[in-house]
Amino acid sequence: MNATPANKIEPAEIVGHFINNRDVADDNRPAPITNPATGKTTRHVAMASKATVESAIAAAQDAFPGWRNTPPAKRARIMFRFKQLLEEHAEEIAAAITDEHGKVLDDAMGEFGRGVEVVDYACGIPEMLKGEFSRNVGPGIDSWSDFQPLGVVAGITPFNFPAMVPMWMYPMAIACGNTFVLKPSEKDPTAPMLAARLLKEAGLPDGVFNVVNGDKEAVDTLLGDERVQAISFVGSTAVAEYIYNTGTSNGKRVQALGGAKNHAIVMPDADIDNAVNALMGAAFGSCGERCMAISVAVCVGDEVADSVVSKLKAQIANLKVGTGTDSATHMGPLITRAHHDKVRGYVDLGVEEGATLAVDGRDLVVDGFEDGFFLGPCLFDNVTQAMRIYQEEIFGPVLCVVRAESEEQAMQLINDHEYGNGTCIFTRDGEAARYFADNIQVGMVGINVPLPVPVAYHSFGGWKRSLFGDLFAYGPDSVRFYTRRKTITQRWPSGGVREKAQFSFPGRQ
């Protein structure tokens, strides 16, 4: 590790790393962790040096032979115990998420619960790793396949779901027999550190799961180290593309989930009140910092658009923005001052581009928390396809209303967009809904469901520039991603018969 800097922070104030089932103190390049509601630094996190990351990879490499040979049923028992411990510590982990991310406590609990569902799915790993067997594929020849772990694998995860997104990765990777190095977001690292300690308590052997906190130096070390066999990533499209290109050029298997610009179509026959209620939560929940957030409402017909905008304005007026610990709060702050300023800049840009700012949340101040990173919900009307606020992912509480003349025109907007993560349609018409589901060029589709996030036993992923790689996250695709299929064909000659050499390619017998 690097030499102690002159501005050394006491170790108790630093979130270090978790390597080989031990907390590793590290005061290398400490960065602040800020409570977004207060704007105050609460502690610091160490940015791992290359040597620290390499020590985590070495621990995982050393642990792999023993872990891969651990029976899947025993791995499942550890997952069962881990799930129990997570549920026992749910409030503690959710509180850490709210403190560091800013999202309201109910939302933090919801995120945590969806992550635990993947742990629950991982408990069934003995069934998922069963191979395929065929007897007598030829005279006295049997053939079978099984699913073998890759080795050391890594995950790089974003700030917006500090508990859930890591749990999309490591429970299934570990259950499949791999060892894991996690590089979570340095903005809110406490939740995955708590989970690491619970995995140890659940009986996970040393080195099987390791956490290194850090920045690009840590990421590039994982991408470049030949011991790392695969990388899972969730984040922005620019970084996802970098992770994918760098990782695959280094011979790694990579799944890199990128950005989104999720549209919701509101049809003339839709229940407008229900659609507006759904849009409120999907656009402004978690302050819009969700890769599945609805950021564009495409209203078919001016009458629908006028009604949706009017009803949204009325609901936004009653939406309470405040601290995540306040049970009356609907929406908390953005994660950092820099991100707050970036999102506000997009609102300024939308006004310059000529969109109608129907609700302006730029100057919202929360009493008693004037230094927090709060931005009120913003609603744009008359947004066009040419505007940057339509084209680019804002990742904040900004909802754009686009007006279309038909379902086909609305769908064309979605299909033309570079992102294809999630989408939905609000309608009472089954024919329109089926046409939408069959023809929309998006990976996850909702019918009167604004956030169609798949449950743990399906897989999560987008199309186009929302995903780099062939396999989705968690669910059945995770077994395919974290294992290699091996097919074995065997024959045991019987009766002492000597076989003649065969020079033709073997065919069916």
Alpha-carbon dihedral sign for residues 76, 207, 64, 228: positive
Separation of alpha carbons 300 and 296, rounded Å:
13
* One-character DSSP codes across 289-313: --TT-EEEEEEESHHHHHHHHHHHH
Backbone angles phi, psi at 396, to 5 degrees: -160, -175
**Tokens representing residue 180 in the block:** 């894991």
Alpha-carbon dihedral sign for residues 193, 197, 199, 204: positive
**Tokens representing residue 254 in the block:** 């990579």
- In order of 147, 313, 328, 411, 440, the CA distances from 376 in angstroms are 50, 12, 16, 30, 32
**Tokens representing residue 182 in the block:** 């996690």
287 among known catalytic residues = no
Residue matched to tokens 């995860």: 157
Separation of alpha carbons 333 and 168, rounded Å:
25
Residues present in the chain in total: 509
Separation of alpha carbons 62 and 206, rounded Å:
9
- Chain center to CA of 244: 16
Separation of alpha carbons 288 and 277, rounded Å:
15
Q: Which residues contact 323 (CB under 8 A, 6 or more apart)?
A: 37, 329, 332, 333, 366, 369, 372
Separation of alpha carbons 229 and 250, rounded Å:
9
Given the residues 123, 176, 291, 424, select the one marked as catalytic: 291
Separation of alpha carbons 101 and 115, rounded Å:
16
CA angle 416, 421, 427 (to 5 degrees): 80
Strands 22-24 and 294-300: unpaired
Give the SS3 label for residue 1.
Answer: coil
Active site members:
291
